[in-house]
Amino acid sequence: MDNNVSKELILWYMIYKRDLPWRNSHDPYHIWVSEIILQQTRVAQGLSYYIRFIETFPSIKNLAEAPQEQILKLWQGLGYYSRARNMHTAAKQIEELFGGQFPKTYKELLLLKGVGDYTAAAVASLAFNEPVAVVDGNVIRVIARLFGIEEAVDKPSTLKDIKTLANELLNKEKPALHNQAMMEFGALHCVPVNPDCHSCVLNSKCLALKNKLVSKIPSKSLKLKIRNRHFYYLAINSSGKIFFQRRGAGDIWEGLYEFPLVETEEPIAPEDLPEMISEKTNFKASAIRIIDISNPVKHILTHQKLYVTFIYLKADKIESAPPHWIVTETSRIFDHAVPRVIDRYLHSPSFIKANQNMY
DNA sequence: AAGCCGGGGAA
DNA sequence: TTCCCAGGCTT
């Protein structure tokens, strides 16, 4: 294969690479943590999480022994929370199946929960210099353009071809350096929109550039459907306590906490909210009154659009409440891992004001 | 093979 | 608005 590509990329990388904390380590634990955090996540967004994660859990043992709640709280706001739950599972796998020793090969790494083809290749090559090519979104773009691949890259058959090409291109003597160079090049130079092909070190070899297809490659076929959902959260305060509940499996935000929720297909008119509260919720209390109703907040997820309304209620004495409601002191609301949209509400003037007016 | 899982930043 | 990010799991 044309090994000059690897050499050009490595030369480029030596000049332009970013100084990132996980690059100063060969510890597979550090590399693994960074790779999980950076799945579908930009470096700028994940960086502070990485620092805090390593500070809080310096070793795989610390992570394995931590309660899941603590891990989720640390992960709060980063999204794709299954990553945090799977990391916990994987840490315990390493303690129990691998005797606390981090797996060293691509094949063994694949056994870990939450570690797929990309992450196994990344840890194996970056930490142990195993000659296996990483293929992430950056690499897909670079290779698809370099080889002028017009087929949709989200087709499994196309992805398979790209992985083959990536491994043929791989510098077998310096897999760690090569893989990082390839990804960094995609992240910084061969960017999705308007890449600077004029100054590109590969511009003489790039088929997409030659065929004027740079803006068309990589192409994708899949379109996703967006579902609209309307959430009505009840912040029920009764003598300094407030209710939470924990979200279960099969929906967004598994394992995170939220206020008692009423969800509807269609929006509810503000004047119908009091009736909705008494009809759709299963709690009884004396002197229930509505203190504040927020405007609907639009919260965008990958597959869903949420319209979230917060209703702050005060009740004198709770007579009965559903068993899965969790009583929390208002002073301890920040102990729970909550979705971003709820965290924002907890810090909003309207919530703080309603909370203060209790006393 | 297709659907689902968050949140944010760039253009 | 649209795209997509150091992807992986479930069905």
3-state secondary structure of A327: strand
3-state secondary structure of A210: helix
Rounded CA gap, A205 and A316, in Å?
Answer: 74
Catalytic-residue membership of A266? no
- Could you identify the residue whose CA is nearest to the C1' atom of nucleotide B6? A79
Predicted model pTM: 0.95
Q: Which amino acid is at A8?
A: E
Strand C: list positions under 7 Å from protein Cβ.
Answer: 3-9
Say yes or no: Cβ of A86 under 7 A from any atom of strand B. no
Q: Which nucleotide minimizes the distance between its C1' and the CA of A298?
A: B7
Rounded CA gap, A139 and A218, in Å?
Answer: 11
Say yes or no: Cβ of A114 under 7 A from any atom of strand B. no
| Whole-number Cα distances in Å, A243 to A75, A258, A285, A318 | 22, 9, 13, 11
Strand B: list positions under 7 Å from protein Cβ.
Answer: 1-11
- Could you identify the residue whose CA is nearest to the C1' atom of nucleotide C6? A38
**Interval A286-301 mean pLDDT:** 93
Average pLDDT, chain A: 95
Q: pLDDT tens, A104-146?
A: 999 999 999 999 999 999 999 999 999 999 999 999 999 999 9
Q: How far is the CA of A176 from the C1' of C6 (A)?
A: 13
**Interval A181-206 mean pLDDT:** 96
Q: How far is the CA of A126 from the C1' of C4 (A)?
A: 24
Which A residues 60-79 have CB within 7 Å of strand B?
Answer: 77-79
| Whole-number Cα distances in Å, A55 to A52, A74, A75, A102 | 5, 11, 13, 19
Q: Which of A53, A9, A7 is nearest to A33 (CA)?
A: A53
Q: How far is the CA of A251 from the C1' of C9 (A)?
A: 13
Q: How far is the CA of A321 from the C1' of C4 (A)?
A: 43
Q: pLDDT tens, A223-263?
A: 788 999 999 999 999 988 999 999 999 999 999 999 999 99
- Three state DSSP letters for A5-30: HHHHHHHHHHHHCCCCHHHHCCCHHH
